Amino acid sequence: MSKKQPIGTVGLGLMGSSIATCILAAGHPVISLVRTMEHAEAARHRILGYLEELMQEGLLQEDPAMVLKRHVITDDVSLLKGHEVVIESIIENVAEKKAVYAKLESVLSPTAVIGSNTSAIPVSILQDGMQYPERMLGIHWAEPAHITRFMEVICGNRSDLSYAQIILTLAESWGKEPSLLKKDIRGFITNRIMYAMLREAFHLVEKGYATVEDVDRSLRNDLGYWITFAGPFRFMDLTGIPAYLTVMKDLFPDLDNSTAAPALMQRVVGDGALGVSNAKGFYPYTPESAEEWEKSFIEFSYDIRKLALKYSKKI
């Protein structure tokens, strides 16, 4: 494998670990900046597990232990000096993220790209106060980041598009099929659309039209059936456009447009439910069944990736 440019990452939580895995597996040396070295060994172990999984799936040809030799975990920001791309994936907190960018700007060259894996903070807000805001981008991954082909590259008000082009090219070499957001908007593409869907899903449940199980079942078997293949605009092309206009005219005024978070959501979170990670969610779990769901999700992620790749090459 030819020598690839070193990439920096910041944060090795859930997403930071799978992002580092993806970039390591693509052949780059990676330096990951962490706040303290306390959890470094656990992160290394997690990343080794992901790399082994990639090898078993035929997506990695190198020995995972050798790949891991290209990975340095450090709490010393000066090791990132000379890096041209650094991707931050720490907790979703503006002040914490900005403190990280100030540290990065103290060692990076003015033309080094800084990307944030923020889920929904507008990139323009993250650019405020930066010395060189034009090199700041959103680089939005989806979990599990070492498997999915998703990435959104987002320009803030002051981002220079040429930096986004650098990341789009790199992302393709990492096995991604990235989308570009030329203008900043809260929630970007998928989160805006997913949250519009979540609002309506809660509305149907809270108003007693359908159960959680029935909402899930319908979406899995309709939208879930075609969306990896087509996306919403292609799907309208495939199924006949005018009928959608008729439905839009009747249905849009009827859709939920409340701005408060749903009461059911507040209750579930208030009860301490984290989801499968603590076996407490919208569905009942035992620790075993929660683990089984997590395992199945990973297996499914590899399967659907294969299916998506098969059909994306066809036409």
Alpha helices in 28-107 (DSSP H): 40-56, 64-68, 94-105
Q: How far is the CB of 88 from ligand NAD (least distance, A)?
A: 8
- Closer of 11 and 156 to ligand NAD (Cβ): 11
Stretch that binds ligand NAD, among 114-122, 127-135, 200-208, 230-238 (CB under 6 A): 114-122
Give CA–CA dist 99/13, Å, rounded. 18
Q: Which is nearer to ligand NAD, 148 or 159 (CB)?
A: 148
Site string for ligand NAD, 40-59 (x = CB under 6 A): --------------------
How would you label 189-224 residue by residue, b for 16+ Cβ within 10 Å and e otherwise? Answer: eebeeeeeeebebbbbbeeeeeeeeebeeeeeeeee
Smallest distance, Å, CB 39 to ligand NAD?
A: 6
| Backbone CA torsion sign across 6, 10, 12, 17 | negative
Q: Does 67 bind ligand NAD (CB under 6 A)?
A: no
- Strands 71-74 and 85-88, by their bridges, are unpaired
Smallest distance from the beta carbon of 297 to ligand NAD, in angstroms?
Answer: 12
Which two tokens mark 92?
A: 């979703």
> Would you count residue 166 as binding ligand NAD (CB under 6 A)?
no
> Binding residue for ligand NAD (CB under 6 A) from 30, 47, 73, 117?
117
Mask for 84-113, x = binds ligand NAD (CB under 6 A): -----xxxx---x---x-------------
What token pair was written down for 87? 């991707």
Residue 14 interacts with ligand NAD (CB under 6 A)? Answer: yes
Nearer to ligand NAD, 104 or 112 (CB): 104
| Backbone torsion region of residue 178, taken as left when φ is above 0, otherwise alpha when ψ lies between -120 and 50, otherwise beta | beta
Which position's Cβ is nearest ligand NAD? 13
Q: How far is CA 295 from CA 12, 112, 144, 307, in A?
A: 21, 37, 12, 19
For residue 76, state whether it binds ligand NAD (rule: CB under 6 A): no
Q: Hey, which residues between 258 and 287 contact ligand NAD (CB under 6 A)?
A: none
Interface pick for ligand NAD out of 13, 175, 262, 275 (rule CB under 6 A): 13
Residue among 6, 7, 8, 11 that touches ligand NAD (CB under 6 A): 11
Is 137 a binder of ligand NAD (CB under 6 A)? no
Is 34 a binder of ligand NAD (CB under 6 A)?
Answer: yes
Task: Establish if 171 lies at the interface with ligand NAD (CB under 6 A).
Answer: no
CA 98 to CA 76: how far, in whole Å? 17
The CA distance from 217 to 177, in Å, is: 28
Q: How many CB atoms lie within 10 A of CB 54?
A: 22
Please say whether the beta carbons of 107 and 81 come within 8 A: yes
* Residue 247: CB minimum distance to ligand NAD, A: 31
CA distance 274 to 265: 11
Contact 6, 31 (CB under 8 A): yes
CB of 2 to ligand NAD, least distance (A): 30
Residue 181 sits in the site that holds ligand NAD (CB under 6 A): no
Please report, as ranges, the residues that interact with ligand NAD according to CB under 6 A: 10-16, 33-35, 89-92, 96, 100, 117-119, 141-143
